[in-house]
Amino acid sequence: MYVRAVEFGIFFELSTPWWPGAAGIERLVYDNALEQARLADELGFDVVWAVEHHFLEEYSHSSAPELFLTAIAATTTRVRVGHGAVICVPGINHPVRVAERAAVLDVISGGRLEFGTARSSTWTELGGFGIDPDSTKKTWDEFVRVLPGMWADGPFEFDGIGFSMPERNVIPKPLQKPHPPMWVTVTSPGTELDAADRGLGCLGVASAGFAEQERRTLEYHRRIQLCDPVGAVNEKVATLNYLHCHEDRAIGATKGLEILGLFRTVNAHLLSTREAYPTRAYQGNGLAHLVPTRIDPGDPGSGPPVPEGAAVGDPASIIRAVKHWESVGVDQINFLVNANEVLPQAEVLASLRMFAREVMPAFGKGA
């Protein structure tokens, strides 16, 4: 069995309560997130991730994560900065610009960059940029194969499907050698195999429950042993979770469900590619979420159930959940700690402090 000390991260979607004339709210969301990241650094969290999304009102106002992460890198010293996932579609990000921005972030952070890749799963985004959904898997594959080459010493040239370029030296080079750890966002079942085949870390943003996660993780680790790596192998499995830690289990669970319920509602507004555009290239509807426990998918009245393994409640219940995730091979658990500012910042910070004080030591972690 593959076992490694579990890592803890915060996953920033920068979801934002939004209405016409909501001046100042985005500033508040960003300020609060930056404060959470600084506290995470002090408390001994391992990583903070920031997603890239476009046009996803309320769900995620994180359209320039490299800037947000630069601010974090400049005000922290230990926590790793997760640029993830970058949308690896040439019509949204040219691969050279992706390589350049990531390298700068690695340099500024002193070699603390984790680099996630994705291809966008909503028509809201792809349609906005005029992207053909049929093409994104091909171009993502091209991206992950060329980026290590661009980050390597010396010039790079490429003749591909999504883009081509003559010989140029892409600069600067990242501080980490041969390059920062690379990941792929996994929403649909099967993408973990794409990750394994390429030697990429598995950045799960949709949890499948303990049994399914264990099955997928075992298959991932089996398969990555046979991989044809695109660069340095990153054999880690991360999963997404919700966090609200409170001394009173019921209060912790209730607050956690507030985060989950609101995040799920704003998620539902969006138009997934799978729903809008029939294509073999999108087999899942995934955006970041925890798959609900078994409920009738036809029932519009079904509210947010407590997903299996959600880190909401008191420290003891959260320790149990984390140990379970650890036991099924998860290396890193990334937490959503608020959604649309439904919880006051003071409660979010208190939850993080209690988690660090009461939960992290059970896993040999903490400042």
Residues that bind another protein (CB under 8 A): 17-19, 55-58, 123-124, 127, 262, 264-271, 274-280, 297-303, 340
User: CA–CA separation, 338 vs 331, rounded Å?
Assistant: 22
**How many CB atoms are closer than 10 A to CB 190?**
11
Nearest to another protein of 56, 81 (CB atom):
56
User: CA–CA separation, 170 vs 220, rounded Å?
Assistant: 32
**How many CB atoms are closer than 10 A to CB 335?**
26
Nearest to another protein of 124, 213 (CB atom):
124
Nearest to another protein of 278, 364 (CB atom):
278
Q: How far is the CB of 86 from another protein (least distance, A)?
A: 22
Nearest to another protein of 166, 297 (CB atom):
297
Nearest to another protein of 154, 300 (CB atom):
300
**Whether 151 contacts 174, CB under 8 Å:** yes
Q: How far is the CB of 275 from another protein (least distance, A)?
A: 6
Q: How far is the CB of 237 from another protein (least distance, A)?
A: 27
**Which residues, 6 or more positions from 279, have their beta carbon under 8 angstroms from its beta carbon?**
133, 134, 273
Q: Which residues pair with 179 in a beta bridge?
A: none
Exposure letters 110-121 (e unless 16+ CB within 10 A, then b): eebbbbbbbbbb
Q: How far is the CB of 33 from another protein (least distance, A)?
A: 20
Whole-angstrom Cα Rg for the chain: 19
Nearest to another protein of 24, 154 (CB atom):
24
**Residue 40, Cβ density class (10 Å: 0-12 exposed, 13-18 middle, ≥19 buried):** buried
Q: How far is the CB of 274 from another protein (least distance, A)?
A: 7
Q: How far is the CB of 344 from another protein (least distance, A)?
A: 17
Q: How far is the CB of 317 from another protein (least distance, A)?
A: 25
User: CA–CA separation, 140 vs 95, rounded Å?
Assistant: 10
Nearest to another protein of 104, 271 (CB atom):
271
